[in-house]
Structure 1
């Protein structure tokens, strides 16, 4: 049973909290690149409990600075983009992307006041459709060379969504393989050829069996959890008969991400980023190993559910997530429509703003959650003691973090252990971009190394 102290340790991410210190040692998604398109590229951002403002200056550089002006605290989110920075609308003080005050126009002409004034500022980089910020001290870590960062822009698509609860319970849904057989259960199967852009709606690799049928009919998976150099690998096995087993391979990417198969052609790499202790955003990069991503279709599909500018779900607690008792009786397990994001959102928001883990009763199906929490607490302690935590990467180590491999398909009941790797490698070999075969996979199936 978890203590309240342990729960607080893992869920609180403010500047003075131990988990907050850990999270500040990694690049964090701060906004989608799309959010700074248009004539006025300025957006307020709340990240890890800090109120900030993100902007793109006239030279195309990004700045992320404290939201309240160092002069008298006015809101810089209403500032003017001009003269190489963001100018406060109250007295005209001007700040550049590094937070340095450039002008204090109401002061005497020979005033040196601005030279000693600097707004708190954090570095920002653009990667795979997301603007990433580093809120920690010292040199930031290198990005791992995982698929969503290696693939060309044409083969990735980024999106986000707001969830009204703590980041940890939102993440833990993604490392819980058994819930999909219930929370995401559909009583009828659709034509899998119309499944583009939808999760759990296509056919599993190596078959024409819809994923919805597999989840519905085989609801007691055997779950294996392995430690990896990036976090955890989860393998969920659903035996169909003596000859065939459905294999689903997903990954926990430390500290707060996961990598899962979306279809035979795509993976989803998703992070659960604390806004504050009671809100988070999921940021996802969809990566294609075949044709370029149809970004307009993917975006339009998601904007049917999420409203701009804050990417909040149209289905939420205020309207019971669209719950329909007739639908629950006849079509879906939840009665909340066909979008699995809504199902997940209901599940985690219904736990409360911060789940009370002192009251839960975990079972064997929760083994990945147990292992992840142990890893998280261990790394929080490392960061608190001044030691570099897991996945704080230097450039050389970052190059070795590749993949990670994912798979969703039906293979042999005897021999599934190498089958899933062969499927993943074949997909990589056939990709139009240089999708690396992770070394640990190449070592285990050497006969594919030179294929």
Structure 2
């Protein structure tokens, strides 16, 4: 258990909050590129309690500015996109993507006011269908050359969803390998050939055994946590027989992302991004190592579950997450359908807007959460002291980072640490060698 003061220290994200100061040192997802499609590519954005307007100007350049016009505070999210920038609808003041004031048309023709006005502007960049922004001080860190950022656009798909809770409890689900055997338990196994685009519904690599069967029947994983240059690696081993072991390798990328296997051909890189202290978005980039992603199918699958424009789950706390007594008795552990994001959403939202960690009792399977909180506290303290933090990296460091490997497979004769390492490393290399884009990177390394 931790104190209420310690809980605030690691959860609150406003401009002056300790954790907020840390998270502002990193690129944060703020929108899907799809959200800027259409005739008017303008979107209001709320990030860590601050309000911004994101837009793409007539030349295609991205910009993100403070949302309140510096004239008299009107809402720039209702502005007009024209003449190289976004124009406030109140008095016509025009700002470009860098925050420069281009025109103050209501002022006298001889006025020099425009030259003295500057709106706060923030670096923005599009990566694999997600728009990232940097709202901290100084230069932003470089992007690591991870699979999700270097795979061709044809091999990635991005989506997001809203959780009505604090970012930290949402993130901690992803570094808890034990919960999948319960929260995501299915009592019957589907045809794994129909699992495209669905997590925990396919077969493990090197086997035709459905992952649902592995999780359901082998529910006491042996979990280990290993520090890495990007955060840490989690390994969950489930002994299936005398000579076979299910090996699941996942990753925490500091400060608030994880990389996990979705299937034998695809991985998920997912961020939990604070809207404010009590809401967050998850942003996911799905990366394929085989053929191009069927973006239309994956989008259609998810739009059956999420409502635009806010990407809210159709099953939520206002309708009890679609809970069915009959389903809970016969089909799923939760009775909340087969979308694991709904399961996760119920779990983290049911903890409250900000989980009261003074009342929790962690177990041995929570070692990933314990390890992460230690790193998080240390990084917050370093930030407050004006020191460095994990993953605040330069271009040279970013270029040395690859992967990270994320494996879900069944290995033979995996009996100790050495054989476990050999199995997942061999499995990762074999997958990359079969991939056009990933094998080219291996050859160039």
TM-score interval, smaller chain: over 0.9
How far apart are the structure 2 equivalents of 1:370 and 1:220? 18
Q: For residues 109-155 of structure 1, what are the alpha-carbon distances to aligned partners after superposition, in whole Å with 9 as ceiling and x for unaligned? A: 11111111111110111111111101111111110000011111011
Equivalents in 1 of 2:239, 2:221: separation in Å? 8
Written as runs of structure 1 = structure 2, the 5 A alignment for 1:39-50 is 39-50=39-50
Which deviations, in whole Å up to 9, do the C-alpha atoms of 1:176-229 show, x marking residues without a partner? 000000000000000000000000000011111100001000001000110001
Q: Which runs of 4+ in 1 moved over 6 A?
A: none
| In 1: Cα distance, 2:342 partner to 2:143 partner | 31
What number of residue pairs does the alignment pair up? 441
Shift of 1:3: 1.0
SS of match in other structure, 1:20: helix
Q: Structure 1 stretch 380-389 or stretch 256-265: which is displaced more?
A: 380-389
Look up the match of 2:374: 374
Distance in 1, matches of 2:127 and 2:106, equals 39
325-334 or 12-21: which moved more? Answer: 12-21
Unaligned runs of 5+ in 1: 439-448
Residue 443 of structure 1 corresponds to: none
- 1:368-426 alpha-carbon deviations (Å, 9 max, x no partner): 00000000000011111111211001010001111101110111232333111101110
Partner of residue 210, structure 2:
210
Q: Deviations over 1:205-263 (max 9, x none)?
A: 11111000010000010001100010010000110111111010000000000000000
Residue 340 of structure 2 is aligned to residue 336 of structure 1: no
Q: What are the residue-to-residue correspondences of 1:176-215 with 2, within 5 Å?
A: 176-215=176-215
Counterpart in 1 of 2:33? 33
- Helix, strand or coil at the partner of 1:139: coil
Deviation at 1:437, TM superposition (A): 7.6
Contact 1:403 1:436 in 2 (8 A): no
Q: Deviations over 1:318-341 (max 9, x none)?
A: 000000011001100000000001
The equivalent residue for 2:119 is 119
Question: Partner residue of 1:425?
Answer: 429
1:281-296 matches, cutoff 5 A: 281-296=281-296
**Using the alignment, how far apart are the partners of 1:397 and 1:388 within structure 2?**
14
**1:295-334 maps to which residues of 2 (within 5 A)?**
295-334=295-334
Aligned to 2:353: 353
Report the Cα offset of residue 450 of structure 1: 11
- The 8 Å contact of residues 78 and 88 in structure 2, kept in 1 or not, is answered as yes
Is the CA contact (8 Å cut-off) linking 1:70 and 1:119 kept in structure 2? yes
**1-side partners of 2:361 and 2:244: how far apart?**
33
Q: Does residue 434 of the first structure (1) align with residue 438 of the second (2)? A: yes
1:150 and 1:435 in contact (8 A); partners too = no
Calculate the TM-score normalised by the size of structure 1: 0.96
How far apart are the structure 2 equivalents of 1:388 and 1:421?
A: 31
2:168 is the alignment partner of 1:168: yes
* DSSP 3-state at the match of 1:434: helix
- Map 1:2-151; keep pairs closer than 5 Å: 2-151=2-151
Q: 1:437 to 1:211 in 2, by over 3 A?
A: farther
| Aligned match of 1:446 | none
Q: Distance in 2 between matches of 1:79 and 1:416?
A: 56
The separation in 2 between residues aligned to 1:149 and 1:279, in whole angstroms, is: 26
SS in structure 2 opposite 1:241?
coil
| Counterpart residue number, 1:445 | none
- Corresponding residue SS for 1:182: helix
SS of residue matched to 2:162: strand
Secondary structure (helix, strand or coil) at the match of 1:53 reads strand
Match for residue 383 of structure 2? 383
Report the aligned-residue RMSD. Answer: 1.4
Q: Secondary structure at the match of 1:242?
A: coil
Deviation at 1:435, TM superposition (A): 5.0
Q: How much does 1:436 deviate?
A: 7.6
Describe the SS at the equivalent of 2:386: coil
CA–CA distance in structure 2, aligned partners of residues 80 and 2 of structure 1:
49
Q: Distance in 1 between matches of 2:35 and 2:147?
A: 23
Q: Distance in 2 between matches of 1:436 and 1:342?
A: 37
Q: Secondary structure at the match of 2:299?
A: helix
8 Å CA contact 2:289, 2:438 repeated in 1:
no
TM-score by length of 2: 0.97
Contact 1:57/1:63, CA 8 A, preserved across alignment: yes
